[in-house]
Amino acid sequence: MEGVARYIPMKRTWMIAGIVAITFLFGGEIAHALTVGEVAGEFICQCGCGLTLANCAHGECGPRDQMTTAIASMIAAGKTKPEIIAAFVAQYGERVLAAPTKRGFNLVAWVTPFATLIAGAGLLVLLAWSWAVRRRVVQPTAEGVWDLLSPEERKRLEEELRRLQD
């Protein structure tokens, strides 16, 4: 084994180790049969409760029973999850889906939160960087003083500051 390992470059070794680790960590999913509960989580119950079909807890709920029965028969007929979803959308419209589709205008709902966060983070980094640059230009001595301190002095100063802040 040692001989083989010698011929694998370090970068590749890390890559293989990574793949093995990922396979080990996340590769344990076993294929299983589709259940009603699994599909029901994709839909909103049409009784008006606003909960998913899987979670509608009305004591007696006609729409829930009707929809779950339909899912059960579609699963029995061998339909896949996407096929069942398509059939329900055709019957009830898009509002039956518990989440917006990831297409067209609905992408606004999916993308905007992350785009805003990324833009915000970018802005923060940019601001911090520009301020830091400006400080270096305007107050070279302030930075210089810090740089002049020995590690022990810096440590002592930080501890003092921390103690005073408390």
Partner 1 sequence: MNELGNTALLIAFSVSLYGVAAPLVGARTGREELVQSGENAVVANFFLLSLATAALLYALLTRDFRNTYVASYTSRDLSFWYTVSALWAGQAGSLLFWTWLLSAFATISVRINREWLSDLMPYAMAVMMATSAFFLFLLSFASSPFELLPFRPADGQGLNPLLQNPGMFFHPPTLYLGYVGFTVPYAFAIAALVTGHLDERWIRATRRWTLFAWFFLTLGILFGMQWAYVELGWGGFWAWDPVENASLMPWLTGTAFLHSVMIQEKRGMLKVWNMVLIILTFALSIFGTFLTRSGVLSSVHSFALSSLGPLFFAFIAIVLLFSFWLLVMRLDALKSPHELDSLISRESSFLFNNLILVGAAFSVFLGTIFPLVSEAVRGVKISVGPPYFNQVNVPIGLALLLIMGLCPLLAWRKASLENLAKNFLGPGLFALAGGAVLALLGLRQPVALLAFTLGLFVTATILQEFHRGAKVRARQGRESYPLAVVRLILRNRRRYGGYIVHLGVILLFMGMAGSAFSVEKEAILKPGQTMQIKQYTLRYEGLSQYPTRSALVNAARLTVYNSGKPVGMLLPQKNVHRGHEGQPMTEVAIRSTWKEDLYVILAGFSEDGAASFKVIINPLMMWMWVGGVLLAIGTIIAFWPDRREGRRPGARYVVE
- Which spans of this chain sit near partner 1 (rule: CB under 8 A)? 24-29, 37, 41-42, 44, 48-52, 54-60, 93-100, 105-106, 108-110, 112-114, 116-117, 120-121, 124-125, 127-129, 131-132, 134-135, 146, 151, 154-155, 158, 161-162, 164-166
Residue 42 or residue 74: which is nearer to partner 1 going by CB?
42
Q: How far is the CB of 2 from partner 1 (least distance, A)?
A: 25
* Neighbour-count burial for 57-86, b at 16+ CB within 10 Å, e otherwise: eeeebebbeebbebbeebbeeebeeeebbe
Residue 8 or residue 130: which is nearer to partner 1 going by CB?
130
Cα 88 to Cα 40, 155, 159, 160, distances in angstroms: 11, 65, 64, 66
Residue 19 or residue 109: which is nearer to partner 1 going by CB?
109
Contact partners, residue 164, CB within 8 Å, separation at least 6: none
Q: How far is the CB of 73 from partner 1 (least distance, A)?
A: 17
Residue 70 or residue 110: which is nearer to partner 1 going by CB?
110
Q: How far is the CB of 109 from partner 1 (least distance, A)?
A: 5
Q: Which residue type does 38 have? A: E
Q: Is 150 strand, coil or helix?
A: coil
